[in-house]
């Protein structure tokens, strides 16, 4: 069921968005060559406890997960692009890292992701990260009353295809509110003018993600981590936004942090 939020409820969602944004900004700043993925998870867990927030991941067990996730943040490295289950791994020079984090504050959820390189970057890694970020900007710009879900999907696809990337539509954006995943689904490719009409009060997590040379995934033996079938690397950018009559509000904005 698609739910619309009142202006007062959108205001109540701001603390969750701010907490998720601040957590990701802190973790990105602290993540270096040599950082262990389990330490990132522990740090995120400490921040959740300190804020009186709740994890959206630790007990999460959808049909595509082999078991409850058991951690509080997704850490996807290199050829992993989504749902990366933290494990005992020390980051190496040049690793492409995606941190995807969702939490609940006072009963409201926010969800966001960021990709970056630790140490010496490859040009192709910086390029795919920048493409996902521009695709996210285009998606947010299209998230206005009077447009449709397809307009958001088409905006993402125009940027991705324009840069030569293929798009997988198995996983994409989604509604956010009292729970992490709700209706509507927002594919990262679609036709403008199609789909559910966008209305003020709709809150969405928009999340372009791409792989360098494929759009095919497989599930790692850990039962969660999604990797490219050809070993190429991936990037993922995500924000939780609220659609309003005055334009979209980026609830997980990190630009001032």
User: Is 174 annotated among the ligand-binding residues?
Assistant: yes
Q: With helix as H, strand as E and coil as C, how does the chain read?
A: CCCCCCHHHHHHHHHHHHHHHHHHHHHHHHCCCCCEHHHHHHHHHHHHHHHCCEECCCCCCCCCCCCCCCCCCEEEECCEEECCCCCCCECCCCCEEEEEEEEEECCEEEEEEEEEECCCCCHHHHHHHHHHHHHHHHHHHHCCECEEHHHHHHHHHHHHHHCCCCCCCCCCEEECCCCCCEEEEECCCCCCCCCCECCCCCEEEECCEEECCCCCEEECCCCCCEEECCCCCEEECEEEEECCCCCCEECCCCCCC
Condensed to tens digits (0 to 9), the pLDDT of residues 171-193 reads 999 999 999 999 999 999 999 99
Token look-up 């989504």 returns 82
Using the predicted structure, report yes or no on whether residue 8 has a pLDDT greater than 90: yes
Burial of 173 (0-12, 13-18, 19+ CB in 10 A): buried
Q: What is the pLDDT of residue 63?
A: 87
Residue 256, pLDDT > 90, answer: no
Average pLDDT estimate for 3-27 = 98
Q: What percent of the chain stands above pLDDT 90?
A: 97
The mean of the pLDDT values for the chain is: 97
Predicted local distance difference test score (pLDDT) of residue 109: 98
- pLDDT higher than threshold 90 for residue 64: no
Q: Which of 43 and 65 is assigned the larger pLDDT?
A: 43
**Topology adopted by domain 7-250:** Creatine Amidinohydrolase (3.90.230)
Q: What is the pLDDT of residues 132-152, one digit of tens each?
A: 999 999 999 999 999 999 999
CB-count exposure of residue 216 (10 Å: 0-12, 13-18, 19+): middle
Q: Where are the domains of the chain?
A: 7-250
Confidence (pLDDT) at 257:
82
185 is in an annotated binding site: no
| pLDDT value, residue 141 | 98
Q: Cα(242)–Cα(26) distance, rounded to whole angstroms?
A: 23
What is the arithmetic mean of pLDDT over 61-87? 96
pLDDT, average across residues 82-96? 98
Q: What is the mean pLDDT of residues 77-98?
A: 98
- Is 11 annotated in a binding site? The answer is no
CB contact at 8 A, 118 and 112:
no
């Amino acid at each position: 069921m698609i739910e619309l939020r009142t202006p007062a409820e959108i205001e109540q969602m701001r603390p969750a968005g701010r907490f998720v944004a601040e957590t990701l900004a802190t973790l990105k700043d602290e993540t270096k060559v040599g950082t262990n993925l389990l330490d990132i998870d522990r740090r995120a867990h400490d921040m959740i406890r300190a804020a009186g927030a709740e994890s959206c991941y630790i007990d999460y067990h959808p049909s595509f997960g082999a078991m409850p996730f058991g951690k509080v943040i997704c850490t996807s490295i290199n050829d992993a692009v989504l749902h990366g289950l933290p494990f005992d791994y020390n980051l190496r020079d040049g690793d492409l890292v995606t941190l995807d984090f969702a939490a609940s504050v006072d009963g409201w959820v926010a969800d966001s992701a960021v990709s970056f390189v630790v140490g010496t970057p490859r040009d192709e890694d910086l390029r795919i990260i920048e493409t996902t970020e521009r695709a996210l900007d285009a998606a947010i710009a299209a998230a206005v009353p009077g447009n449709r879900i397809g307009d958001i999907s088409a905006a993402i696809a125009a940027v991705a295809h324009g840069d030569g990337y293929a798009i997988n539509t198995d996983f994409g954006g989604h509604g956010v509110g009292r729970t992490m995943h709700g209706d509507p689904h927002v594919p990262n490719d679609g036709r403008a003018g199609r789909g559910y009409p966008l209305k003020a009060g709709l809150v969405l997590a928009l999340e372009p993600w791409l792989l360098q040379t494929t759009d095919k995934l497989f599930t790692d033996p850990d039962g969660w981590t999604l990797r490219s079938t050809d070993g190429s690397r991936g990037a993922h950018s995500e924000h939780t936004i609220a659609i309003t009559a005055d334009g979209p509000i980026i609830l997980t904005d990190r630009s001032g942090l």
